Structure 1
Amino acid sequence: MRTELPDPVDARIGARLAELRARHGWSLGELAERSGVSRSTLSRAERAEISATATLLNRLCHVYGRTMSQLLSEVEAEPAPLVRAAEQQVWQDRASGFVRRSVSPAHAGLRGELVEGRLGPGADIAYDRPPVPGLEQHLWLLEGTLEVTAGDTSHPLAAGDCLRMRVYGPTRFCCPGPGEARYVLAVVRP
């Protein structure tokens, strides 16, 4: 258990997750059944005793019908039309080393958003379902190499390549190295 104060972003994410669960009228047990995440993990994430991983947030986004960017934008201040580089929220999955910068965060009335992702050599992130079925994604690899698997199809990418897909099933992002993979992901809600 943490003895220091939780990270402010983790605390806001936890509060938002608790709020969403309460809005649906679900107990921790009901949410655990719907998401496949243990009650204890859900409870600890809501209290910001742990930093939520990308996989955990993806499962919860699926249950709540949101993209990860939508969820993260809901814990930010009201987004402005101009997002300065210094103001772009950065979130890190400490378990995998995945770093996510919300370049153009989700905004009411807009269906698209831009995300910069960074994966270190050897990083491997698997999502068992999309946060929103039919989510449109355009991944433009800026640096390094990346292998993206959507469903049963694997796509090896080199710098400059762009992968376009609609996501209905599991996806996996692997950085074989030797350097990090840096990419821009355009996400468009259906």
Structure 2
Amino acid sequence: MGIDTAADERLAQRLAELRIERGWTLEELARQADVSRSTLSRVERAEVSPTAALLGRLCGVYGRTMSRLLAEVEAGPVPLVRAEEQQVWRDGTTGFVRRSVSPPHGSLHAEIIEGRLPAGADIAYDRPCLPGREHHLWLFEGALELTLDGEAHRLAPGDCLRYTSTTCRFRSLGPGEARYALVVVEP
């Protein structure tokens, strides 16, 4: 489960709404996202919290960034979000923690995300959420291997890698967690 059960329920409801808005059955969504129908059904009923990889697939199908999707389940936009009020989401499978640093708003052109990936954790996104997005990943702590379209990039603290949305794999090389900021910019 995620950190906030109420947020998990709002996320599940929003995912179901997005599917219904498009007039898709669970079977159609399962085919497009390449995820089992039963998994999608359990996610939409908030029986399980989706993993980061699953949310990435769904965001790709729905044409949204993960931050935008998560912002859609929060209250209206505000100009300032204090650290203790920033939305935090945890992937219970990998231990990945994602903090939405930027104040949430549906029309963001840029957003800042803090990522924390435990040593040894490995997350693969097999398709881009939205093609053409520009990313700047700035590593603060730890060692991270980011593989983009099969090309591995090893990052050390202070390194910054710029890339456009692509298939990617994040792997924390240890010994401690990898902590980074990810700036995502609309095309």
TM range (shorter): over 0.9
Cα deviation per residue 1:132-164 (whole Å; 9 max; x = unaligned)?
011110000001110001102111000000000
Report SS of the residue matched to 2:56: helix
Structure 2 CA distance for partners of 1:113 and 1:80, relative to 1, 3 Å = same
User: Structure 2 CA distance, aligned partners of 1:32 and 1:52?
Assistant: 14
Q: 1:58 aligns to what?
A: 56
Aligned to 2:112: 114
Quote the sequence identity (%): 63
Task: Give CA deviations for 1:32-78 in whole Å, capped at 9, x if unaligned.
Answer: 11110111000000000001100111111000000011100000111
How many angstroms apart in 2 are the aligned matches of 1:46 and 1:135?
27
Cα deviation for residue 110 of structure 1 reads 2.8
Equivalent residue for 1:157, pick from 136, 155, 158:
155
Aligned-partner Cα distance in 1 for 2:107–2:170: 29
Which position in structure 2 is the counterpart of 1:178?
175
Give the 4+ runs in structure 1 shifted more than 6 A.
Answer: none
1:187 equivalent to 2:176? Answer no
Aligned to 1:33: 31
Q: Structure 1: any 5+ residue segments left out of the alignment?
A: none
Aligned counterpart, 2:40: 42
1:125-140 matches, cutoff 5 A: 125-140=123-138
Distance 1:142 1:129, change over 3 A: same
Deviations 1:3-26 (A, max 9, x none): xxx911110110000000000000
Q: Distance in 2 between matches of 1:28 and 1:111?
A: 31
Question: In 1, are the aligned partners of 2:71 and 2:106 still within 8 Å (CA)?
Answer: no
- Measured in 2, the distance between the counterparts of 1:16 and 1:150 equals 30
Contact 1:132 1:189 in 2 (8 A): no
Q: Secondary structure of the equivalent of 2:147?
A: strand
* Aligned residues of 2:68 and 2:106 also touching (Cα < 8 A): no
CA distance in 1, matches of 2:150, 2:133: 17
Change (3 A) 1:96 1:105: farther
| Aligned-partner Cα distance in 1 for 2:39–2:139 | 33
Q: Could you tell me which amino acid in structure 1 is paired with residue 94 of structure 2?
A: S
Aligned in 2, Cα 1:105/1:39: closer, same or farther, shift over 3 Å? farther
CA distance in 2 between partners of 1:121 and 1:110 (Å): 31
Partners of 2:106 and 2:8 lie apart in 1 by 23
Gaps of 5+ in 2: none
Cα-Cα RMSD: 1.3
* Cα contact 1:105–1:114 (8 A) shared by 2: no
TM-score, normalisation: structure 1 = 0.94
Q: TM-score normalised to the size of structure 2?
A: 0.96
**How many residues align structurally?**
185
